[in-house]
Amino acid sequence: MLISMIELMKKAREGHYCVPAIAVENEHSVRAAIKAAEEKRSPLIMISLFKVNPDICYFGRIVTDLAIRAGVPVAMCQDHGGTYEEAIWAIRAGFTDVMADRSTLSFEENIAQVSEIVRIAHAVGVGVEAELGHVGIATNYEVDGTSGFTVPAEAVEYVERTGVDALAVAIGTAHGVYKGVPKLQFELLRELREKVPVPLVLHGGSGTGEENLKRACRMGICKLNISNDLKRGAIGNLNENCKDGMGAYAMYPLLFEGYKNVAAGYMDLCGSAGKA
C-alpha cells in the first residue's frame, strides 16, 4: 500500500516508536527495502535524492508500482530537495512526500521558500518535511556545543509559519561517516518534542550508535534517515561471499541480502517491527 509518510509518522508519534527511512537508488534497493519491511511487518519510508535519480518519473513508476503491491504501508519521500523544480518533479513522479531542505539559508528565506512548496504539495495531498538548524557532513563535523543546532522557539515559529508536516532537527548527528560516536543533545530533543507540534526527523542515522538511536526514537524521533550503513551492508555481504570470485555471479542477490539485513536491523532498533 502506498501512503504518505506523514500518516506513518503520526502513528509512530502516538505509539512512541520510529519508522526507519531507507535510502533507495534503484529497483534492487527498493525491492530489498520492501522485503525487509514485509518480513518485519514494519511500516516503511523510502527516501531518494534527486541527483541519484534525475530520471525521476521512470524511477517513480518502479517505486509506486512496487509500493502499491507491498504487503505493508510504504511511503516514498524525496530526500533533500534543494530547488522548487526538484519538488515539482518528485510530485509529478508520484512520490507521496517531499523534503524541502533550505537549512543553509537564513531563517526568513527558509520560511519563504518552504512555504511556497508546502502550498503546492498540499494542494495535491503530498506531505512536506523541512529542516531547521543544519545537519552537516560527518567528516567535517566538530561538536562545539551549539553551532547549527535547532533552536526550539524558532522551530515552533517555523512550523506555524510554513505549515510543514514534519521537521528534521539538528541535535548532534551528521551525514556520512563519523570519526567517533557522536554526542546527541537529548535535553534539546526533549524540549523540541514538547514544543514542536509535528513529528520530528533525525538525519545522519548511520553510525550514530544503537544506544543513541534507541533513546532518540523513544524520545520522539519518528523518522530516522539511513543511507551509508545500508550500502556498507550490501558491499560487505558481496565481499564476504566473493573471495574466490565465484560470488560475482550472485552479485545482485548478495547486495540485496546485505541491504535487506541492515534495513531489517534498523526496523528492530527503531521499534517499527510488528507495527504494520
**With respect to Zn ion, which residue has the nearer C-beta, 176 or 209?**
176
User: Reduced to 3 states, what is the DSSP secondary structure of residue 48?
Assistant: strand
203 binds Zn ion (CB under 5 A): yes
Helix (H, G, I), strand (E, B) or coil at 130: strand
At a CB cut-off of 8 Å and minimum separation 6, what does 99 contact? 47, 77, 78, 79, 80, 81, 128, 129, 130, 131, 168
State yes or no: residue 223 binds Zn ion (CB under 5 A).
Answer: no
Position 102 contacts Zn ion (CB under 5 A): no
The smaller minimum CB distance to Zn ion, of residues 192 and 254, is found at: 192
Which three cell numbers, joined as nine digits, stand for 67?
Answer: 509500493
Determine the residue with CB nearest Zn ion.
Answer: 203
CB of 50 to Zn ion, least distance (A): 13
Nearer to Zn ion (CB atom), residue 170 or residue 255: 170
Using CB atoms within 10 Å of the CB of residue 96, give its burial: 0 to 12 exposed, 13 to 18 middle, 19+ buried: buried
Segment lying near Zn ion (by CB under 5 A), choices 42-50, 138-146, 155-163, 195-203 = 195-203
The torsion defined by the Cα of 250, 253, 256 and 258, in degrees rounded to 10, comes to -60
Binding residues for Zn ion restricted to 143-162, rule: CB under 5 A: none
Minimum distance from residue 203 beta carbon to Zn ion (Å)? 3
Element (H, E) at 217: helix 210-218
Applying CB under 5 A, the site for Zn ion has a residue count of 1
Q: How far is the CB of 232 from Zn ion (least distance, A)?
A: 17
> Which residue's CB is nearer to Zn ion, number 40 or number 203?
203
Contact 188, 219 (CB under 8 A): no
Q: Name the nearest CA neighbour of 261 among 8, 2, 21, 40.
A: 40
Q: Judge contact between 150 and 136, C-beta under 8 A.
A: no
User: Shortest Cβ distance from residue 225 to Zn ion (Å)?
Assistant: 5
Q: Is residue 79 annotated as a catalytic residue, yes or no?
A: yes
Catalytic residue (one of 55, 79, 97, 244): 79
Burial of 147 (0-12, 13-18, 19+ CB in 10 A): exposed
| Contact range with Zn ion by CB under 5 A, out of 16-24, 85-93, 200-208, 266-274 | 200-208
Site string for Zn ion, 61-100 (x = CB under 5 A): ----------------------------------------
Shortest spacing between CB 65 and Zn ion, in angstroms: 26
Nearer to Zn ion, 228 or 237 (CB): 228
Distance (Å, rounded) from C-alpha 208 to C-alpha 213? Answer: 7
> Which stretches of the chain bind Zn ion, using CB under 5 A?
203
Catalytic annotation, residues: 79
